[in-house]
A and B are shown apart, each in its own frame.
Chain A
């Protein structure tokens, strides 16, 4: 599902004359198979989010290649990446990233609107997914009227609505209490088992790491295997 070859990345900071280079990733190799749940841990600032952004196509790696679902996306322009992301990747951000002026249902509907799904079908799909994330009682609520856990579920519903084969999640449980966290984890496991969705989850949470088939760690810009077996 995800194949990363020799990906290195550094950020360039400051004005032209006094540029400073912040090296983050060094020659990362990674393969995530279809239907796997992989968790990624590492110290704060170790480059976990950077790697996820590279996989999601938000930033271009300084060097190396990324392929998703067999498609090499490195070097693509923004428009092409956006189209690809819409169809193939569900991205769950650290702080939900819901549009505050839209209701839960409208936020979830957004990807369907973007890919041109007809209105009637959109309504049906949104209703289905709301039931799946147990938010059928709150379709007309605005993000500010929802709890953290509910907002997170709206974000997940939005990531799932187009049935992407891959979900990238950046610390999805970071701001949740342990009960809602447990709910979320069972949802992830259910989706993985029933729909065969692949998950790559950044976390420092042991509970989350526990549901993963494999656990990886980034340290000093290198990828370490912590637990589990590499699928062939």
Chain B
């Protein structure tokens, strides 16, 4: 018997019991939809809270916070080149912090952003992302963070009038124009430890680039990156020598090593340890959180599977009734010479169809619900708490993997629940069926 003919039989059988088949498909659809929607919350939260982080440079970043030489107060250029030579190291960021800085622009001031001096060639290798503009090429060029302009407040406004409730500068006191390509005055101050008068130096600098906004929209960053040459000029003006060795080589306050991929982080950590560096990577921590999320997702899938199992009782019932009802026909078919295997396949096809149809409909509806939840819940939350929900926060996400898992579970469960009735069908006793005893 050909597949097409078997399928025709299945169709005829289902046509005879349209309502029952429909209800069973509905139950299977509800089960698989419930499974997907439930688990999608785990996937959604995982995605929006962790995944970005895991895929970003954060995992390949290794912070170096000390060298083997305890007397040395920073990292020398020798240290840097040693770090660069370690296998699988993509980039090394070398950072000198600036003292207290203020930036003045046309009567507006950004007070004390975190200012650092870096080597922009290294920044490029470490994956700095610009939202607009370019990286500095000359000494007096800088890049600022995406929120830099939000901290550029009008001079001479009283502190208590200047800030809104959430700590940001009120919009009426903000600098309105585009800051890119503006020339701005950098003012840096130092407060000597010997108690002598604070000293101040200024330089005109040009904002040539603005960094891309961070993935987490609810974090404000107010920072500035300058060139190392500018830092040296300022230090010379201020007579500050902390950032240099006695020979005049620069000393770096902070060094970050970037591994070429997450897998090589561990071996890099090991060789750092051998070379006497103190290092830290948040990969392990992230890995643990990741495992936690994966366990939670598995748990949700298992809970959702219970719904599918309940639906499978419906399929079992439907198929058992179908077999009982059709026992006389099955008897006649067997009497003519229908192989029991053929009979079994026909019934298995029917239950598989019910399961597949249910799974597909359920999956489609789950995608719709997921979409509505993602669109609707933030809106409702914003209404209730009057606070903006970041757009990156996704409550529900259905990756292809989840849909595939759900469809597989649904199919396996329905085939299992349909297999006993199908077996019953093959066991129909021909002569008893012909005598209408069953």
Residues on the A chain within 8 Å of B384, using CB: none
Q: Are A85 and B2 in contact (CB under 8 A)?
A: no
CB of B278 closer than 8 Å to a CB of A: no
Which of B37-45, B92-100, B334-342 contacts the other chain? B334-342
- Residues 77-128 (chain A) with a chain B CB within 8 angstroms: 78-79, 82-87, 89, 91, 93, 97-99, 101, 110-111, 113-116
Q: Are A58 and B336 in contact (CB under 8 A)?
A: no
- Residues 381-438 (chain B) with a chain A CB within 8 angstroms: 430-431, 434
Q: How far is the CB of A162 from chain B (nearest CB, A)?
A: 8
Q: How far is the CB of B174 from chain A (nearest CB, A)?
A: 78
Q: Are A116 and B336 in contact (CB under 8 A)?
A: no
Pick from A83, A93, A99, A115 the residue with the most CB of B within 10 Å: A99
Residues on the A chain within 8 Å of B2, using CB: 116
Chain A, Cβ-Cβ closest to B6 = A113
Q: Are A114 and B430 in contact (CB under 8 A)?
A: no
What number of B residues sit within 8 Å (CB to CB) of A? Answer: 20
Q: Are A82 and B339 in contact (CB under 8 A)?
A: yes
Q: How far is the CB of B345 from chain A (nearest CB, A)?
A: 12
Question: Known: A59-B431, A101-B329. Contact between A113 and B336, CB under 8 A?
Answer: no
Question: Known: A58-B430, A93-B434, A98-B332. Contact between A86 and B1, CB under 8 A?
Answer: no
Residues on the B chain within 8 Å of A59, using CB: 431
Q: Are A101 and B339 in contact (CB under 8 A)?
A: no
Q: Are B329 and A99 in contact (CB under 8 A)?
A: yes
CB of B78 closer than 8 Å to a CB of A: no
Q: How far is the CB of B149 from chain A (nearest CB, A)?
A: 75
Pick from B2, B12, B16, B338 the residue with the most CB of A within 10 Å: B338
Q: Report the bound CA distance from A113 to B333 in whole Å.
A: 11
- Residues 1-50 (chain B) with a chain A CB within 8 angstroms: 1-2, 5, 12, 16
A-B contacts, CB under 8 A, total: 58
Pick from A87, A91, A113, A115 the residue with the most CB of B within 10 Å: A113
CB of A9 closer than 8 Å to a CB of B: no
Q: B16 touches which one: A86, A101, A115 (CB < 8 A)?
A: A101
Q: Report the bound CA distance from A91 to B430 in whole Å.
A: 13
CB of A53 closer than 8 Å to a CB of B: yes
Q: Report the bound CA distance from A83 to B2 in whole Å.
A: 15
Q: Report the bound CA distance from A86 to B2 in whole Å.
A: 15
Q: Are B335 and A93 in contact (CB under 8 A)?
A: yes
Chain A, Cβ-Cβ closest to B338 = A114
Question: Known: A53-B431, A59-B431, A97-B434. Contact between A114 and B340, CB under 8 A?
Answer: no
Residues on the A chain within 8 Å of B5, using CB: 113, 116
Pick from B333, B337, B339 the residue with the most CB of A within 10 Å: B337
Chain B, Cβ-Cβ closest to A96 = B332
- Residues 136-172 (chain A) with a chain B CB within 8 angstroms: 158
Interface string of B321-338 (1 = CB under 8 A from A): 000000001001111111
Residues on the A chain within 8 Å of B342, using CB: 114
Residues on the B chain within 8 Å of A97, using CB: 332, 335, 434
Q: Are B16 and A114 in contact (CB under 8 A)?
A: no
Residues on the B chain within 8 Å of A158, using CB: 336
Q: Are B1 and A83 in contact (CB under 8 A)?
A: no
Residues on the A chain within 8 Å of B12, using CB: 101
Interface residues of chain A: helix, strand, loop or mixed (majority): helix
Q: How far is the CB of B97 from chain A (nearest CB, A)?
A: 82
Chain A, Cβ-Cβ closest to B343 = A82
Q: Are B337 and A87 in contact (CB under 8 A)?
A: yes
Q: How far is the CB of A215 from chain B (nearest CB, A)?
A: 26
Q: Are B334 and A82 in contact (CB under 8 A)?
A: yes
Q: B1 touches which one: A78, A101, A114 (CB < 8 A)?
A: A114
- Residues 13-49 (chain A) with a chain B CB within 8 angstroms: none
Residues on the B chain within 8 Å of A87, using CB: 337
Q: Are B336 and A114 in contact (CB under 8 A)?
A: yes
Q: Are B338 and A82 in contact (CB under 8 A)?
A: yes
Q: B336 touches which one: A53, A79, A86 (CB < 8 A)?
A: A86
- Residues 252-310 (chain B) with a chain A CB within 8 angstroms: none
Q: How far is the CB of B423 from chain A (nearest CB, A)?
A: 13
Question: Known: A98-B332, A113-B1. Contact between A83 and B434, CB under 8 A?
Answer: no
Chain A, Cβ-Cβ closest to B435 = A95
Q: Report the bound CA distance from A58 to B429 in whole Å.
A: 9
Chain A, Cβ-Cβ closest to B337 = A86
Q: Report the bound CA distance from A89 to B337 in whole Å.
A: 9
Q: Are A78 and B337 in contact (CB under 8 A)?
A: no
Q: Are B333 and A58 in contact (CB under 8 A)?
A: no
Residues on the A chain within 8 Å of B329, using CB: 99, 101
Q: How far is the CB of A232 from chain B (nearest CB, A)?
A: 32
Residues on the A chain within 8 Å of B336, using CB: 85-86, 91, 110-111, 114, 158
Residues on the A chain within 8 Å of B430, using CB: 58
Q: Are A116 and B335 in contact (CB under 8 A)?
A: no
Q: Report the bound CA distance from A83 to B334 in whole Å.
A: 10
Question: Known: A58-B430, A101-B329. Contact between A79 and B337, CB under 8 A?
Answer: no
Q: How far is the CB of B419 from chain A (nearest CB, A)?
A: 17
Interface string of B354-375 (1 = CB under 8 A from A): 0000000000000000000000
Residues on the B chain within 8 Å of A78, using CB: 340
Residues on the B chain within 8 Å of A79, using CB: 339-341
Chain B, Cβ-Cβ closest to A78 = B340
Q: Report the bound CA distance from A86 to B329 in whole Å.
A: 16
Q: Report the bound CA distance from A86 to B16 in whole Å.
A: 27
Binding site for B on A (CB under 8 A): 53, 58-59, 78-79, 82-87, 89, 91, 93, 97-99, 101, 110-111, 113-116, 158
Q: List 15 A-B contacts (CB under 8 A).
A: A58-B335, A82-B337, A82-B339, A82-B340, A83-B337, A85-B337, A91-B336, A97-B335, A98-B332, A101-B16, A101-B329, A111-B336, A114-B338, A114-B342, A158-B336
* Top 8 A-B pairs, shortest CB-CB distance: A86-B337, A85-B337, A82-B339, A113-B5, A79-B339, A97-B332, A82-B337, A99-B329
Task: List 18 other contacts, CB 8 Å, given A85-B335, A113-B1.
Answer: A58-B335, A79-B339, A79-B340, A82-B337, A86-B338, A87-B337, A89-B337, A91-B335, A99-B329, A101-B12, A101-B16, A110-B336, A114-B1, A114-B333, A114-B336, A115-B1, A115-B337, A116-B1
